[in-house]
Amino acid sequence: MEEANRPCYRRVVLKLSGEALMGEQRFGIDPNALETLADEIVQAHRLGVQIGIVIGGGNIFRGLQAAAHGLEKVVGDYMGMLATVINGLALQNAIEARGVPTRVQTAIAMAQIAEPFIRRRAIRHLEKGRIVIFVAGTGNPYFTTDTAAALRAIEIGAEVILKGTRVDGVYDADPEKVATARRYERISSREVLEKGLRVMDLTAITLCQENHLPILVFNINRRGNLLRLLLGQPVATIVHHEEQ
């Protein structure tokens, strides 16, 4: 492989929100958004990178919103976990339609639909060139899919978490609301926590910090960005840890 096309990472976890599948819709799965996302992931996979994916379920259901309408938080969180399974199966179907073998592993047992999460089996799938989609979060209420992404990345020995968002990095304010928001090229996890920046939740950031796992925040909606990121182009904010 030519040096210019050599990926910077061997194994990564791609963290996607459920909203990445909504497209221009208010909820649900937009077929065009799903197809575009599958194209991006397959293109990245062809570099030879081992890819694990953690996807949220916010496009279908949010436990916090449900709690505000009288549904018990724990029940709402379990419903949210099931929403991630729906998204994971949709993404699996779209990726496999492009000829790439994929496995869905779930933190909640559902043998007819997906494999249970087994660390060694997940690693073996990755080594065999399969994309592994991790669904149902950690399998526990009160933990977000951000935390699930950090946990799975650590468990499978990923070198980095790639967090796909609607903006091109981490800002000191919401760039969709504040025109003067300043973008960081690099920022430490300590600064993220001190400034209260919404990169990932507190548990996820702490897990990454303690395990020296960097986070790259980038715009997943810009075509080709995932590929550019893996080739080392500066399209993301790097959340690093002081000792790195």
- pLDDT tens-digit readout, 90-149: 999 999 999 999 999 999 999 999 999 999 999 999 999 999 999 999 999 999 999 999
pLDDT at 62 over 80: no
Nearest to 71 by CA among 83, 60, 61: 61
Number of folded domains that form the chain: 1
Residue 63 pLDDT greater than 70, yes or no: no
**Higher per-residue pLDDT: 118 or 173:** 118
Question: 3-state SS of 46-75?
Answer: CCCCEEEEEECCCCCCCHHHHHHCCCCHHH
Q: Is residue 2 pLDDT above 70, yes or no?
A: no
CA atoms of 153 and 122, how far apart (whole Å):
11
Q: Lowest-confidence range among 6-10, 26-30, 158-162, 182-186?
A: 26-30
pLDDT in tens, 184-193: 999 999 999 9
What pLDDT score does 70 carry?
78
Question: What is the band of 217 on the pLDDT scale with cuts at 50, 70, 90?
Answer: very high
Q: What is the CATH number of the domain that holds 209?
A: 3.40.1160.10
Confidence of residue 230 (pLDDT cuts 50, 70, 90): very high
**In this model, does residue 10 exceed pLDDT 90?**
yes
Mean pLDDT of 51-67: 80
- Quick check: 72 pLDDT over 90? no
Q: How far apart are CA 88 and CA 240, in angstroms?
A: 28
* Listed range (15-24, 32-41, 91-100) with the worst mean pLDDT: 15-24
Tokens of 164: 């796909």
Mean pLDDT of 75-91: 94
Q: Does the pLDDT at position 39 exceed 90?
A: yes
pLDDT of residue 4: 64
Note the pLDDT of residue 37.
97
- Amino acid identity of 34? L
**DSSP per-residue string spanning 128-171:** TT-EEEEESTTSSTT--HHHHHHHHHHHHT-SEEEEEESSSSEE
* % of the chain exceeding 70 in pLDDT: 94
Three-class SS of residue 97? coil
Residues 158-172, mean pLDDT to the nearest whole number: 94
Q: Which domain holds residue 187?
A: 3-240
28-42 average pLDDT score: 96
- In percent, how much of the chain has pLDDT > 90? 78
